[in-house]
Amino acid sequence: MNAMPSRFHFPFAAAMAALMIATRFHHFGTALHLPDASMALFFLGGLWLRRHLAFVVFMALAVGLDWISVSYAGVSNFCVTPAYAFLLPAYAVLWYAGRAWSARMSATPAALAGAFAVALAAASVSFAISNGSFYWLGGRYAHPNLSEYLARLWQWGPLFVRTTFAYVAVALAGYAVLARLTRTQDEGARA
């Protein structure tokens, strides 16, 4: 199973949308809420859905959820600055890194480890883009400087990347199980 069978695309996209809706309002997890899965979902979407239109749909969903959360759910608008536009390239890094790896994706340990490594690199770059644009262009810091930026990057980066890792690890494990079940069913049908 090199790619996700097309029969799973719609259920996977629907599950992705449901997870984004369920977690987008909480950047950090609590005892009652899972942390935001958006970064992982953009990587996984690129990996398995691949289509440019799907990226646009998920980007629109993220923006719509942010608008609802600020306008109606009482979430602070602190992060909504001119730098918010940089979420587009930040999420594009994730989506297109997953898309680039998708041709090599299989349920082998090497391919799964490769996907995990690509996710790590993409999540790191994505966070640097979103956090850097917020710090340097968001207008929230009176005297931005490199030292303070690096401290903030180190303070928040590992949390966001670790959260992305956790979701990606669960998805890749699920993919490996699904691939094994599919292979077993295919072998049984041929016997």
Residue range 76-108, pLDDT digits in tens: 777 788 999 999 999 999 999 999 999 999 999
Judge whether 172 and 178 are in contact, CB under 8 Å: no
SS3 23: helix
* Residue 93 within a domain: yes
Contacts for 142 with CB less than 8 Å, ≥ 6 apart: none
* Residue 59 within a domain: yes
* Residue 99 within a domain: yes
Among 54, 51, 47, 41, smallest CA distance to 90 is for 41
Q: What is the reported pLDDT for 189?
A: 66
Q: What is the reported pLDDT for 70?
A: 87
* Residue 87 within a domain: yes
pTM for the model stands at 0.89
The number of domains in the chain is: 1
Q: What is the reported pLDDT for 172?
A: 96
DSSP state of 84: G
Rounded CA separation 168/46 (Å): 12
Range of the domain at 176: 6-190
* Residue 1 within a domain: no
Q: What is the reported pLDDT for 25?
A: 75
Q: What is the reported pLDDT for 33?
A: 58
Q: What is the reported pLDDT for 142?
A: 86
Q: What is the reported pLDDT for 190?
A: 65
Q: What is the reported pLDDT for 182?
A: 79
Contacts for 47 with CB less than 8 Å, ≥ 6 apart: 98, 99, 101, 102, 105, 115
Rounded CA separation 164/125 (Å): 12
Rounded CA separation 80/35 (Å): 19
| % residues pLDDT > 90 (the chain) | 64
Point out the residues of the chain with pLDDT beneath 50. 1, 28-32
